[in-house]
């Protein structure tokens, strides 16, 4: 099973969701499927893969014998040789040449075999490149989807803060009416309410921007009806992942870009063998069935009859004629029928041709040198791919560790802030502290609440990046 399928199976966002622009709620899988369908780079990669497949089929077919039918009709005038009567003539005549030809390569330095192997590797590498694009799309859509989820939670927190402040405004109004606190306290709480509402508006605006970003990742025009399925995150327990060396070893065993780079290196090595085949002799067998027709070719028949006729006179006396048998020859010339000529002129040819390269303007040597460079380049590209993967893993690993530490610290901070805020709120509600002190604590609580949301989603995303390199299903 390839990584693209593993990723898709791992995204457990249940629900039957239509993937058109009017869908009310989109699951993560629906978003990813739509991105797969519309992404230009992915579609171009799939077309390239189809081209590679066609090239592979053609290289296999190159080892088969060819078969061609040819038919040529010529009109001749002036002094010329009739190819079927072998006579020179000044007459105008026509000829027809019909042939069925076939040839097959018996040996060419394994060029055909190595070309098939090279094209097969190129085709397989192209398919893996498509999987690499799918993985990139999946991770990008996942990040965009989680950003929208985080925005929803931020809005929920902002709304809770608005509701709490609203309650405090109403309570402070009563305190002012009974003269328990100064009116300044009410103004400060009302100002805080306005600030909390602004925070919510900003969160809602951010949600709309992040929805547009997600739609753009899906190559889908923005629509007001677009919304995603809400998904609750599991309880998080930050822990130290495997070492980067262990993760790198695991990821190299299954990630498509690593396999693709290796296949491309092997393809370049076969390309070198293809170039080196130019030094070898080429042996080809050919055969043909031929026949033809000439308008000059004809059948001549003659009929001789003998008639009694006066052939002279005896002593010149007309009264004494001499009677003799006189031959009378009738010559009949008739062109040979087309069918007869095709039958009579039919012949078969079979032969073997050996072509030995002696000097070819350094073309073979040049091809070999270029192929060697291609091999070195492919090896460097393979190493670069491994280096890029290692760097990505090191970054993902460091980000996950840092995000885990930040999440733990923020959770501890939030636990303390909850106790402090609860205590300050109780004191404020009974008029034990002024609005200024309470609002300072409330703003601190609000900041930590938002920080906790960001830390939680940041850690989840960073963890999923590491899970991706470990080949784990990316479940919530």
Structure tokens belonging to residue 205 = 């605006």
The predicted model scores a pTM of 0.80
**Any bridge partners for residue 321, and if so which?**
313
Q: Which two tokens stand for residue 61?
A: 């077919």
Q: What are the structure tokens assigned to 152, written together? A: 């929803």
**Measured distance CA(352)–CA(214) in Å, rounded:** 65
The CA-based dihedral angle spanning residues 385, 391, 394, 395, taken in that order and rounded to the nearest 10 degrees: -120
pLDDT for the residue 238:
67
Q: Considering only CA atoms, which of 269, 271, 273, 334 is closest in space to residue 301?
A: 334
H/E element, 321: strand 317-335
For residue 317, the cross-strand partners are 314
User: What is the structure's pLDDT at 301?
Assistant: 59
Between strands 298-314 and 282-294, the pairing is unpaired
Judge contact between 465 and 400, C-beta under 8 A: yes
The beta-strand segments (E) located in 38-92 are 66-76, 80-81, 88-89
- Nearest 5°: the CA angle 55, 59, 63 is 160
Q: pLDDT in tens for each of the 476 residues of the chain?
A: 444 443 433 433 333 333 444 446 899 999 999 999 999 999 999 999 999 999 999 999 999 999 999 988 888 877 777 777 777 777 777 888 889 999 999 999 999 999 999 999 999 999 999 999 999 999 999 999 999 999 999 999 999 999 999 988 988 898 888 887 788 888 998 999 999 999 999 999 999 999 999 999 999 999 888 999 987 777 666 666 688 999 999 999 999 999 999 999 999 999 999 999 999 999 999 999 998 888 776 665 566 777 777 777 777 777 777 777 777 766 666 667 777 778 888 889 999 999 999 998 999 999 999 999 999 999 999 999 999 999 999 999 999 999 999 999 999 999 999 999 999 888 888 778 888 888 999 999 999 999 999 999 999 999 999 999 998 877 66
Rounded to whole angstroms, the Cα distance separating 12 from 9 reads 7
Q: Tell me the C-alpha distance between 245 and 475, whole Å.
A: 24
Q: Which residues contact 113 (CB under 8 A, 6 or more apart)?
A: 63
- Which residues partner with 292 through β-bridges? 97
Q: Cα–Cα distances in Å, from 157 out to 160, 207, 330? A: 5, 14, 122
Task: Give pLDDT, residue 253.
Answer: 93
pLDDT value of residue 302: 65
Query: Other C-beta atoms within 10 Å of 429: how many?
Result: 15
pLDDT for the residue 146: 93
Count CB atoms within 10 A of the CB of residue 467: 18
Give the domains, in start order, of the chain with CATH numbers: 3-38+108-280+361-470 (1.20.1600.10)
List the one residue out of 166, 113, 111, 185 whose CA is nearest residue 439: 185
Q: Which of 241, 213, 240, 239 is nearest to 228 (CA)?
A: 213
């Amino acid at each position: 099973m390839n990584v693209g399928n593993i990723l898709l199976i791992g995204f457990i966002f249940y629900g039957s969701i239509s993937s058109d622009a009017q869908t009310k709620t989109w699951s993560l899988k629906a978003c990813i499927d739509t991105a797969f369908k519309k992404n230009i780079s992915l579609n171009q990669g799939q077309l390239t893969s189809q081209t590679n497949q066609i090239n592979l089929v053609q290289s296999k077919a190159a080892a088969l014998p060819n078969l061609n039918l040819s038919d040529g009709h010529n009109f001749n005038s002036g002094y010329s040789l009739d190819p079927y009567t072998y006579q020179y003539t000044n007459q105008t005549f026509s000829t027809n040449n019909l042939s069925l030809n076939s040839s097959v390569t018996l040996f060419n330095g394994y060029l055909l075999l190595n070309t098939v192997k090279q094209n097969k590797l190129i085709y397989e590498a192209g398919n893996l490149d498509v999987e690499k694009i799918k993985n990139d799309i999946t991770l990008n859509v996942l990040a965009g989807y989680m950003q929208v989820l985080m925005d929803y939670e931020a809005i929920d927190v902002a709304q809770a803060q608005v509701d709490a402040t609203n309650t405090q405004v109403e309570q402070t109004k009563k305190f002012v009416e009974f003269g328990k606190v100064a009116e300044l306290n009410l103004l400060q709480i009302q100002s805080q309410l306005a600030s909390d509402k602004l925070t919510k508006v900003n969160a809602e605006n951010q949600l709309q921007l992040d929805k547009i970003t997600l739609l753009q990742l899906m190559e889908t025009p923005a629509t007001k009806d677009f919304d995603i399925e809400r998904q609750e995150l599991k309880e998080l327990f930050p822990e130290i992942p495997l070492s980067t060396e262990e993760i790198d070893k695991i990821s190299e065993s299954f990630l498509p870009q690593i396999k693709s780079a290796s296949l491309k290196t092997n393809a370049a090595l076969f390309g070198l063998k293809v170039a080196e085949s130019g030094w070898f002799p080429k042996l080809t067998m050919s055969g043909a069935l031929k026949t033809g027709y000439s308008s000059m070719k004809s059948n001549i028949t003659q009929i001789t009859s003998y008639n009694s006729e006066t052939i002279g006179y005896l002593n010149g006396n007309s009264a004494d004629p001499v009677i003799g048998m006189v031959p009378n020859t009738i010559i009949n010339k008739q062109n040979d029928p087309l069918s007869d000529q095709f039958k009579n002129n039919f012949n078969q040819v079979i032969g073997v041709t050996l072509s030995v390269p002696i000097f070819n303007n350094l073309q073979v040597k040049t091809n070999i040198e270029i192929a060697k460079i291609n091999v070195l380049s492919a090896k460097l590209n393979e190493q670069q791919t491994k280096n890029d993967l290692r760097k990505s893993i090191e970054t993902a690993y460091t980000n996950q560790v840092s995000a885990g530490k930040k999440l733990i610290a923020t959770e501890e901070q939030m636990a303390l802030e909850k106790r402090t805020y609860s205590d300050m709120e109780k004191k404020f509600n009974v008029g034990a502290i002024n609005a200024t002190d309470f609002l300072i604590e409330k703003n601190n609580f609000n900041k930590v609440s938002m920080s906790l949301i960001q830390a939680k989603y940041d850690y989840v995303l960073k963890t999923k990046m590491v899970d991706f390199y470990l080949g784990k299903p990316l479940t919530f």
